[in-house]
């Protein structure tokens, strides 16, 4: 039914279904946020700047609520108490991705750089690394710039090991480490690096364009490209 | 079997408007007509831009002898007599009035007679090319049609006028279903964006009407759901321009509560300008150009009752 903008619930605000995965919510947020940007020409003459700002604020709130599992559960419960959601919540899909936690039985020799951290995990390689990993909380849009350490933090936030990224992307762990450490001199030539970054971004389920442009900007500056 | 379907097929009337002038309404109407005619549909184009008719020019026809003004002034009794055959099979045209001062402002009886006669015509599709602005005549043609199609350019001026057009059409439709004079006055007052009653959005209006008469408010709510204008974004140059259609859809949903259907976009290309300069229809002069392809895609969406979705873009 026709609702006032202020009365829209967070799902309606982001134009997603209440059963949407966190990945869908993230995509919807990125899209809706762009629609309600200040100076968005598609809104011209329809909303005042104050209304647009208020909308923007609400969209941020909606995203912060729905993207964190705990907050979302609480919010769903409050919606259900107001009869805005069907009573029986559809069971959310079980976490698809599980970070391999099993340690190799072989004692590791820490000084051996080939073995260090690269011991093949005995668990089968997780096939679901990447955008299909539904339960992985998506990129925080608040990352100001995708530097190596920021990428590393993002990866750790999602509970992904270097090994699993390497398995998913077929990039050697050595290069992944160099990317995360901003060791530009040890990285391959720019076109190859770009390809690596695309794969890495996809494995993290983040927007490759932003990651690449941020990373390569710093890379170019450091390597003295134009 | 196909003949049977043809016989059962209901005639559809599409109106193409948009508020602002010079945004390609006539060009899109003409070329949608040609695309439909090529699909073996019987198409009648009506230039309802009574003050500034030029649909005939986009089709490469000179100033016609018989126009709508002859019909409106009862120089001819039957609307059949003002229909001009074009060189394209299945496509005919009723040209707009041009030759007398008051042509742009037909009175109510003239308008009603025109709409009544249009309904009797034998065609699969009747396309009304509306003029610029939000005068009652234009709005009434838009509301009379089965499908109202809005054209916008990815520019603030065109978008502003498109919203104004939607709002005017919307409120005019409200007024038609309401009998109570007090509520009619309220709707008039709500049209004024700076009204003193705090009515900003259609939602506020319906809320106010509900307080006055609950049933009427509910009827208006039903009208909101039934109002489904369609959108074409013309002259797109970038991917962001294409996105504007989706953004407008979202804004309309939230502001008006209406479901704007995004039919498609037409890419910007110099060949459009060249075709106009050479006074030949785009779909004939440059059938494989990108704008022509875009228009074909729009026609397909219209026929299949589909709309553009985000996933189609990537």
Domain boundaries, chain B: 2-154+229-250+260-313
The H or E element spanning position B308 is none
Per-residue pLDDT for A121 more than 50? no
Judge: B156–A40 Cβ closer than 8 Å, yes or no. no
Could you give the CA distance from residue B259 to residue B251 in angstroms, rounded to a whole number?
10
- What distances in angstroms separate CA B74 from CA B33, B48, B62, B90, one per listed residue? 27, 17, 23, 27
Could you give the CA distance from residue B36 to residue B38 in angstroms, rounded to a whole number?
5
- How many beta-carbon pairs under 8 angstroms link A with B? 59
Q: Is B224 on the interface with A (CB under 8 A)?
A: yes
Confidence of residue A128 (pLDDT cuts 50, 70, 90): very low
Residues from chain B contacting residue A35 (CB–CB below 8 Å): 246-247, 250-251
Q: What is the pLDDT of residues A12-40, one digit of tens each?
A: 889 888 888 877 888 888 888 888 888 88
> Is A193 a member of any domain?
yes
What is residue A124's predicted lDDT score, i.e. its pLDDT? 45
What is residue A103's predicted lDDT score, i.e. its pLDDT? 46
* Residue carrying structure tokens 């919010």: A75
Judge: A5–B203 Cβ closer than 8 Å, yes or no. yes
Min distance B262 CA to chain A CA atoms (Å)? 13
Residues from chain B contacting residue A32 (CB–CB below 8 Å): 250
Could you give the CA distance from residue B92 to residue B70 in angstroms, rounded to a whole number?
17
Q: Tell me which of B202, B254, B309, B314 to substitute to probe the interface with A (most A C-beta atoms closer than 10 Å).
A: B254
> Is A71 a member of any domain?
yes
Min distance A83 CA to chain B CA atoms (Å)? 21
Confidence of residue A139 (pLDDT cuts 50, 70, 90): very low
Query: Do the beta carbons of residue A85 and residue A79 sit within 8 Å?
Result: yes
Could you give the CA distance from residue B152 to residue B262 in angstroms, rounded to a whole number?
11
Min distance B61 CA to chain A CA atoms (Å)? 36
Q: Which residues contact B56 (CB under 8 A, 6 or more apart)?
A: B47, B62, B63, B64, B84, B93, B95, B96
Query: Do the beta carbons of residue B84 and residue B66 sit within 8 Å?
Result: yes
Judge: B159–A42 Cβ closer than 8 Å, yes or no. yes
> Is A88 a member of any domain?
no
Could you give the CA distance from residue A201 to residue A154 in angstroms, rounded to a whole number?
10
* Residue carrying structure tokens 């496509």: B91
Closest CA to A14 of A23, A202, A152: A23
Could you give the CA distance from residue A37 to residue A45 in angstroms, rounded to a whole number?
14
Q: What is the pLDDT of residues A145-200, one digit of tens each?
A: 888 998 888 888 777 788 888 888 889 999 999 999 999 999 999 999 999 999 98
> Is A184 a member of any domain?
yes
Judge: B244–A43 Cβ closer than 8 Å, yes or no. no
Single out the residue in A62, A81, A100 at which a domain terminates.
A81
> Is A99 a member of any domain?
no
Residues from chain A contacting residue B163 (CB–CB below 8 Å): 44-46
What is residue B96's predicted lDDT score, i.e. its pLDDT? 82
Per-residue pLDDT for A112 more than 70? no
What is residue B285's predicted lDDT score, i.e. its pLDDT? 93
Confidence of residue A122 (pLDDT cuts 50, 70, 90): very low
CATH number at A210 reads: 1.10.260.40
Q: Is A9 on the interface with B (CB under 8 A)?
A: no
CATH class of B2-154+229-250+260-313: alpha beta
The H or E element spanning position B13 is strand B12-17
What is residue B296's predicted lDDT score, i.e. its pLDDT? 95
Q: What is the pLDDT of residues A48-99, one digit of tens each?
A: 888 888 888 899 889 888 888 788 888 998 888 887 777 654 555 544 555 5
Q: Is A4 on the interface with B (CB under 8 A)?
A: yes
The parent domain of residue A49 ranges over 5-81
Query: Do the beta carbons of residue B234 and residue A31 sit within 8 Å?
Result: no
Could you give the CA distance from residue B295 to residue B38 in angstroms, rounded to a whole number?
13
Cβ neighbourhood burial of A6 (10 Å; 0-12, 13-18, 19+): exposed
By CA distance, what is A5's nearest residue in B?
Answer: B254
End-to-end alpha carbon distance in chain B: 38
Judge: B159–A32 Cβ closer than 8 Å, yes or no. no
What is residue A131's predicted lDDT score, i.e. its pLDDT? 44
Structural domain count, chain A: 2
> Is A136 a member of any domain?
no
> Is A131 a member of any domain?
no
Single out the residue in A27, A56, A81 at which a domain terminates.
A81
Question: What 8-state DSSP symbol labels residue B49?
Answer: -
The H or E element spanning position B190 is helix B181-191
Residues from chain B contacting residue A46 (CB–CB below 8 Å): 163, 251, 255
- Per-residue pLDDT of chain B in tens (314 residues, 90 and over written 9): 455 555 555 789 999 998 898 999 999 999 999 999 999 999 999 998 877 888 988 888 888 888 888 888 888 888 898 999 999 999 999 988 666 656 667 788 888 888 889 888 889 999 999 988 888 888 999 998 999 999 999 999 999 999 999 999 988 999 888 888 888 888 888 887 777 777 888 888 888 888 888 888 888 888 888 889 999 999 999 999 999 999 999 999 988 888 999 999 999 999 999 999 998 999 999 999 999 999 999 999 999 888 888 766 65
What is residue B274's predicted lDDT score, i.e. its pLDDT? 94
């Amino acid at each position: 039914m026709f609702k006032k903008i202020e009365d829209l619930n967070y799902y309606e605000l982001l134009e997603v279904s209440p059963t949407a995965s966190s990945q869908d919510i993230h995509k919807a947020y990125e899209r809706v946020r762009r629609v309600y940007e200040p100076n968005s020409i598609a809104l011209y003459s329809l909303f005042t700047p104050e209304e647009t700002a208020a909308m923007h604020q609400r969209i941020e709130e909606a995203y912060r609520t729905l993207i964190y599992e705990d907050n979302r559960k609480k919010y769903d419960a409050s919606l259900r108490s107001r009869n805005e959601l069907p009573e029986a919540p559809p069971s959310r899909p079980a976490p698809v991705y599980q970070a391999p936690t099993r340690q190799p039985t072989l004692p590791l020799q820490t000084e051996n750089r080939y073995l260090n951290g690269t011991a093949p995990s005995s668990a089968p390689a997780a096939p679901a690394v990447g955008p299909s990993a539904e339960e992985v909380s998506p990129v925080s849009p608040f990352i100001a710039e995708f530097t190596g350490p920021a990428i590393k933090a993002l990866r750790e936030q999602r509970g992904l090991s270097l090994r699993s990224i390497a398995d998913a992307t077929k990039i050697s762990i050595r290069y992944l480490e160099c990317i995360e450490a901003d060791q530009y001199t040890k990285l391959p030539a720019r076109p190859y690096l770009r390809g690596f970054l695309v794969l890495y971004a996809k494995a993290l389920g983040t927007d490759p364009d932003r990651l690449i442009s941020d990373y390569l900007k710093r890379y170019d500056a450091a390597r003295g490209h134009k | 079997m196909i003949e049977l379907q043809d016989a059962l097929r209901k005639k559809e009337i599409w109106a193409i408007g948009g508020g602002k002038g010079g945004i390609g309404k006539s060009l899109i109407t003409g070329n949608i007509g040609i695309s439909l005619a090529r699909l073996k549909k019987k198409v009648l184009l009506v230039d309802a831009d009574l003050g500034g008719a030029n649909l005939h020019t986009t089709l490469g026809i000179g100033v016609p002898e018989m126009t709508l003004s002859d019909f409106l002034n009862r120089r001819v009794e039957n609307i059949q007599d003002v229909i001009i055959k074009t060189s394209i099979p299945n496509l005919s045209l009723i040209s707009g009035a041009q030759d007398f001062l008051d042509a742009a402002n037909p009175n109510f009886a003239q308008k009603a007679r025109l709409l009544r006669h249009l309904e009797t015509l034998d065609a699969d599709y009747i396309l009304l090319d509306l003029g610029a602005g939000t005068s009652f005549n234009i709005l009434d043609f838009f509301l009379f049609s089965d499908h109202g199609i809005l054209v916008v350019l990815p520019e603030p001026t065109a978008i502003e006028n498109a919203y104004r057009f939607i709002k005017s059409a919307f409120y005019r439709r409200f007024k038609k279903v309401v009998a109570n004079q007090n509520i009619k006055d309220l709707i008039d007052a709500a049209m004024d964006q700076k009204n003193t009653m705090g009515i900003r959005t259609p939602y506020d209006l319906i809320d106010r009407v509900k307080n006055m008469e609950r049933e009427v408010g509910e009827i208006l709510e039903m009208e909101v759901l039934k109002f489904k204008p369609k959108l074409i974004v013309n002259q797109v140059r970038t991917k962001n321009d294409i996105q504007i259609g989706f953004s407008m859809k979202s804004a309309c949903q939230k502001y008006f509560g209406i479901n704007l259907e995004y039919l498609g976009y037409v890419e910007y290309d110099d060949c459009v300008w060249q075709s106009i300069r050479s006074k030949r229809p785009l779909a004939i002069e440059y059938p494989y150009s990108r704008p022509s392809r875009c228009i074909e895609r729009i026609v397909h969406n219209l026929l299949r009752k589909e709309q553009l979705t985000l996933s189609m873009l990537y």
